[in-house]
Amino acid sequence: MSGYRIAVIDGDGIGPEVVGEVLRVLEAIAEPAGIEYETTLFPWGCRYYVEHGQTMPADGIETLSRFDAIFLGSVGDPRIAPEEVAGVGPVLAIRFGFDQYANIRPVRPLPGAPYPLARPEPDAIDFTVVREATEGIYVGLGGRFSPHDPAVAEAVAARPIFGQSTEIALQTGVYSEAGCRRVIERAFLLAEQRDGRRLVTSSTKANAMKHGMSLWNDVFADVASQHPDIESEWNNVDALSMRFVLKPETLDVVVAPNLFGDILTDLSAALLGGLGFAPSANLGDGQWPPMFEPCHGSAPDIAGKGVANPTASLLTLVMMLEYFGEHAAARAVDGAIRQVIASGQVRTPDMGGSSSTEEMGRAVAEAAVRALEAS
């Protein structure tokens, strides 16, 4: 069968439940949208770890390389595997294995979803966070040492308290010119595609992290000079965090190093009503498959109860359809999600309703099909 080849990792906790609704909607819209696809399910994650001692097989990256895209539900279940197992499981393995350096998080509140701010109005907020996802603190370099170890002599000499300690831990961040440049370029390209005002805001903390962050700032200035039609600015991450809450309507595209981007993207999810409404995509340069994943965790406390909110997963499906160039289908699904939530008739408990995961998925599927058939 020709068409899009999609690897599906449903993962742990509520992952299989929300991914099930993604597959329901995809199946429903395929014929009216003229989409051909095939999915292959990989049961990787903590459940796989219990049986095999690893969260994915050794040849997992090679296996996934044959697909056009990867859809991931969630990974992690502290009831059956330590947190550090999930942390180095499929998500980071896939990001690093396929050099998915740009984590894209759109921030566009849905009418009718929980909204935490008194102002501005939800429809005034429409921005995207681009998080660098392969460098910085997350490269995993460093270790725990005796203060007498020659490897940490320079660090121990930096502060008196270090030499008085029984143990020293180093967590090394690595920032490369090429790594900074490509993700910043991605942010400017996204800004060029926006209607109206186009602004790229960079987030660093050069006054406290002078080496890596000054490199980032220098690269940002250079890339900005090559895009004179795009406005640019920078904020220290602490000031930008305040701006996310006080003036989110002033943002268009935000680009940030890995750690800061991780924190800012979760903060931005609060503007959507929580992680249950936050989609994301992990993109590289097109040589390898991208990965699409909702931002919420596996929520083991509600797993199996049929009450998980599938909105983040369905919005992530929209991002995958856009990536494939299936714009009509993406608009139909996005519009269906917004219509269902705005109507207030089908809502999962986190939205103050009593609907099930399946009921919400069915409602979105039906609305999307109606939209496609009417177009």
Q: Is 37 a catalytic residue?
A: no
- Helix segments in the chain, DSSP class H: 15-33, 46-52, 60-64, 83-87, 90-97, 153-158, 160-163, 177-192, 210-225, 237-246, 258-272, 311-324, 327-343, 357-374
> Which entry of 238, 247, 285, 305 is annotated as an active-site residue?
238
**DSSP letters spanning 353-371:** ----HHHHHHHHHHHHHHH
Q: What is the DSSP letter of 250?
A: G
Q: Is 266 a catalytic residue?
A: yes
Strand 127-132 versus strand 102-107 pairing type: antiparallel
> Which entry of 252, 262, 334, 350 is annotated as an active-site residue?
262
Separation between Cα atoms, residue 251 and residue 254, nearest integer Å: 7
> Which entry of 37, 149, 266, 323 is annotated as an active-site residue?
266
129 burial via Cβ count (<10 Å: 0-12, 13-18, 19+): buried
DSSP, collapsed to helix, strand or coil, labels residue 43 as: coil
> Which entry of 4, 12, 49, 205 is annotated as an active-site residue?
205
DSSP, collapsed to helix, strand or coil, labels residue 194 as: coil
> Which entry of 49, 138, 334, 350 is annotated as an active-site residue?
138
- Helix segments in 42-112, DSSP class H: 46-52, 60-64, 83-87, 90-97
Q: Is 205 a catalytic residue?
A: yes
Strand 281-283 versus strand 253-256 pairing type: unpaired
For residue 120, is the peptide bond before it cis, meaning its omega torsion is within 30 degrees of 0? yes
DSSP, collapsed to helix, strand or coil, labels residue 259 as: helix
Question: In whole angstroms, how far apart are CA 231 and each of 201, 210, 253, 366?
Answer: 9, 25, 10, 41
Q: Is 301 a catalytic residue?
A: no
Per-residue 3-state assignment (H helix, E strand, C coil) for 316-348: HHHHHHHHHCCHHHHHHHHHHHHHHHHHCCCCC
Q: Is 59 a catalytic residue?
A: no
**CB distance 183 to 101 below 8 Å:** yes
Question: In whole angstroms, how far apart are CA 352 and each of 84, 114, 309, 341?
Answer: 33, 9, 11, 11
Separation between Cα atoms, residue 50 and residue 56, nearest integer Å: 11
User: Which residues are catalytic, by number?
Assistant: 138, 205, 238, 262, 266
